[in-house]
Chain A
Amino acid sequence: MAIDKIGSILRPFTALKNLAEKPDTLDVPRHYRPAAERYRGFHVNDLDKCIGCGTCAEICDNAAIRMVPVKGKEVGVGKTQYRPAIDYGRCCWCGLCVDVCTTNSLSMTREYTHISPDTDTFFILPDEKGIHEKDFPQGWHADEKINFLDLERVTMQELSAAERGDSFIEIVKGFSKEQAVKEASRCVSCGLCTATCPAHMNIPEYIDAIWKEDATEAGRQMYKTNPLPDVCGRICTHKCETACSLGQRGDPVSIRWLKRYAMDQIPASELNTLVNQSVVKQGGKKIAIVGGGPAGLSAAYYLVLMGYGVTLYEKYPKAGGMMRYGMPEYRLPYESIDKDIDFILSLGVELKTNVTVGKDIPVEKLRDEYDAVIMATGFHGGRSTRVPGTDHPMVFQAVDLLARITNGDEFPVEKDIVVIGGGNVAMDIARSLARMQKKKYGTVSLIVTSLETRDIMPADDEEIVEGEEEGIVFHPGRGPEEIIVENGSITGLKTSRCIRVFNDQKMFAPEFDKNDIEVYAAAQVIEAIGQGPEFDVFAPFAESLEMAGRRVKVDQFFQSSLPWLFIAGDIIKGPDAITGIETGHQAALGVDFWLGKQPDDTLSTIDEVLKIALGFQREQVTQLEAVLAAGSLAPAVEAETSKLLASEKADLAAVEALLAGRNTRIHLRQEMPRAVRRRDFKYLEAQKPIPAESASATIKAITEHASAGFRLYTDILFLTKSKELEFSLDGLRDHQKATAERFASLKD
């Protein structure tokens, strides 16, 4: 070792050799010194790629990211107009936001210098260019190999093709507890699903509850907007999953299966405690609902909770509508339907089955006997291709057959069958018939043809795959030409190749290549190209009822041109169960509005805020009035206070008007992704820990701060986007400041 403990006088002088060498100093800042390839510099964000899920804001340990609504950003399935704004008065450049980004739109550049006396410049809305609009090379960015997010979903256990091929036992086995918790843990709680779900279910909330192994809470969250969670947990079209932010780079969360898992954990006997609704019978007001499908049941549920007397008319022997009569049992076991329906009925809904309104009981009678009628008759009429031969008795409508299967009615099942149609109903009937063929003949010989090619077939992909596993042969992209009938019996279906289904205007206008002809041998043909309403029931009002195309025209309250008649379900929107549930809910609210009662069952956040704003404003007015009444003010102060009082009163009126227009609630819920709403209120959480009871308690605590009142208004403006409100932001800001100061002076 070159160290001795004697020390040296001369050796230090070797340092003088540096006099002849070039200094070590870098010529910064004259020359920019490039940072490393992975440098964590300022953020950049591809604003178009970004979906505004806000996961970056969630993971930020410094609360440095705030989601702000950017103008011109389209809102759609799985997209909000919100984008992250970053506070460099908070950021610690850890890059967790980049690593967790669901779309990989967020990254960091190698830029590292920002100097300013103005703190406002440290709060930026990063775009593709970065803080100074300069082109710096990319720095820290997402790594292919390191994924914070769980991009792969937990595989759902299913019966194998062999096990399920000849039986109607439910295919999906459902999650085990571990699987459910694991799947639930994948969720980033962005709430894009809520925005997309027709019923706006509190999806992140119930997934969170499942993750916390609290199925009861999950159920409670579901029943807030969906009284048929058991059913939806099985057959919902799960549009939410297309919106899921995890789907951007991986598999979306299995929201539907999680819902099913949670509801499976709750026995029917506990449903009542779960919902925990005390039904107050109002008496007097009675509502008739025609159709016991999802829409009717949903409307019945919410109306009965609001205290109306509800009678449900169902033409089949059992309630459930398409859920029962249009879904094969292997997808939706009857117990599940019964569980949901029995619970709704147990709340006091009167069910009249085997009653066909319009035939057994005239609609006029309902009109006269009840205060309102909700018509939710659904799509029970199958559509026909109308090609030659469709009048043959061995040509069936899918919906009819499905209902017959449910009812246990006998019908012929031939050895070779062709199903026309590429939707989920076609899959349902094809797979049901395949099972029956297997049972009867031991083999499956079933062909499905559809206009759409495989990639654009409307049926769920897993349905097609499973169908193939069960032995169904698919011939997609073929249009039916003729059902060949020989000697009175069907021998086959002649098809031609479908060149395209939609024209340039995206309208349904199929074109065929008549030279490309194929014939599929079959003794039985099933048409499953869509369903339509049966408007017989409206016949008496045909003249007075306004129509919008093939559907009944309704206003925002789902009220038809006949004031007593509300419409819900497939006949105005859809068709699918979850949309039916939502329209039923909205129609119930519409009825309630029409009948002049304020609903208070499921206050949304905006309502709570509005109410608090109201309280705050009233408090202001009361205080000012009290001050004025005391009368001990100097004349100048008194004049000032009077002015203030007047303006406060105007504000009060504005808030009252806003609250009175209850329709805002209905529509706002659809426009605002829940998570975004939640994030907007995150500042409230940051100020106080969230009390266990409710978010509203939190918000109430906030109103104690006069200054927070102002924030409240800005949020209302954000939420309502109400430009009509008479106060502008700037005015409000000054106004609030002045108010605070004046109050301070008044107290002296």
Chain B
Amino acid sequence: MSDKELTQRSAWETVLASLKKRSLWMLHYCTGCGAVELPPTMTSRFDMERFGIMPMVTPRQADILLITGYLSVKTLKRVILIYEQMQAPKYVVGFGSCTINGGMYWNSYATMKSLDRYLPVELYLAGCMPRPEAIISGFNSLIDRIDRGEANSWKDYYENYEFYRKNQEHTFGDIETHRSIADDAQYYGFVEVTK
């Protein structure tokens, strides 16, 4: 993020960040076809546990939400709920073309086109789908960002919730959230957002 925030970090936070980056759990959710490269990434050929990255089962436990490629509108709805249930700090990683500009489903009636209109995205990986090497590089890049204190995209969701909410409503009509984003924003210390 901005230089200001970088300089504002205390020494304690810097140390903490360098420890926190060593453990990152991703949500084990195959949202799209890119997920087929996740098992190789998890298992012995590429073994992402080397970097402290593990698949986790529920949103509560996870730090990383991988959007593995296209998101059908039906899945997108679930993904948004999942994201809201995750504990901060949380990172969304977009896999491949589909999360950026619709990918090969650019003219499909059933998939969303730009992920960053619905959720704040920390990183994008190029590829259709990204290979395990690229995924591992992506995770390393995320680790670096956390280390440098740059991985703050999640804050945007609470600071600019209106923007995301507007786009979500545009796509779904009304969406029923489980959590009060206003309360969450307050908890996280952001300005209160009117729901």
Contact = CB atoms under 8 A, between A and B. Distances in A.
A502 B116 CA distance: 63
Contact of B126 (A26, A35, A88): A88
Interface string A112-134: 11111101001000000000000
A117 B136 contact: no
Interface string A670-697: 0000000000000000100000000000
Contacts of B126: 42, 88, 113-115, 122
Contacts of A686: 107
A114 B95 CA distance: 11
A249 interface: no
Nearest to A32: B133
Q: Interface residues of A: mostly helix, strand, loop or mixed?
A: loop
B44 A24 contact: yes
B133 A28 contact: yes
A63 interface: yes
Nearest to A42: B126
Given A23-B44, A26-B45, A112-B133, A90 B125 contact: no
B86 interface: no
Contacts of B127: 93, 112, 114
Contacts of B46: 25-26, 28
Given A62-B106, A122-B126, A115 B100 contact: no
Interface in B141-157: 141, 145, 153
Point out which of B45, B106, B153 has the most chain A C-beta atoms below 10 A from its C-beta.
Answer: B106
Contacts of A42: 126
Contacts of B111: none
B50 interface: yes
A24 B104 contact: no
Interface of A: 23-26, 28-29, 33, 35, 42, 61-64, 87-93, 112-117, 119, 122, 686
Contacts of A88: 97, 100, 126
B104 A119 contact: no
B5 to A, nearest CB: 15
B97 A89 contact: yes
Interface string B98-135: 00111110110000001010000111111110111110
B57 to A, nearest CB: 24
B125 A29 contact: no
A112 B134 contact: yes
B186 interface: no
Given A89-B97, A91-B97, A115-B125, A25 B153 contact: no
Q: Which of the listed residues A29, A61, A112, A122 has the most CB atoms from chain B within 10 Å of its own CB?
A: A29
B47 interface: yes
Nearest to A131: B126
A61 B140 CA distance: 32
Given A24-B44, A25-B46, A89 B102 contact: yes
Contacts of B134: 112-115
Contacts of B180: none
B59 interface: no
Interface of B: 44-47, 50, 97, 100-104, 106-107, 114, 116, 121-128, 130-134, 136-138, 140-141, 145, 153
A24 B43 CA distance: 10
Contacts of B131: 35, 112
B106 A122 contact: no
Contacts of B44: 23-25
Contact of A29 (B100, B124, B137, B153): B137
A232 to B, nearest CB: 40
Contacts of A26: 45-46
A87 B47 CA distance: 31
Given A91-B97, A113-B134, A62 B104 contact: yes
Nearest to A62: B104
A15 to B, nearest CB: 12
B138 A115 contact: yes
16 contacts: A25-B45, A28-B133, A42-B126, A63-B107, A89-B100, A89-B102, A112-B127, A112-B134, A113-B138, A115-B124, A115-B125, A116-B124, A117-B121, A117-B123, A122-B97, A686-B107
Contact of B128 (A23, A25, A93): A93
A119 B145 CA distance: 17
Interface centre among B100, B140, B145 (most CB of A within 10 A): B100
A223 B77 CA distance: 55
Contacts of A28: 46, 132-133, 136-137
Contacts of A64: 97
Nearest to B100: A89
A124 to B, nearest CB: 10
Contact of B103 (A23, A24, A90, A113): A90
Given A28-B133, A112-B131, A122 B50 contact: no
A90 B137 contact: no
B6 to A, nearest CB: 15
A112 B129 CA distance: 10
A35 B130 CA distance: 13
A114 B125 contact: yes
A122 B96 CA distance: 10
B98 to A, nearest CB: 8
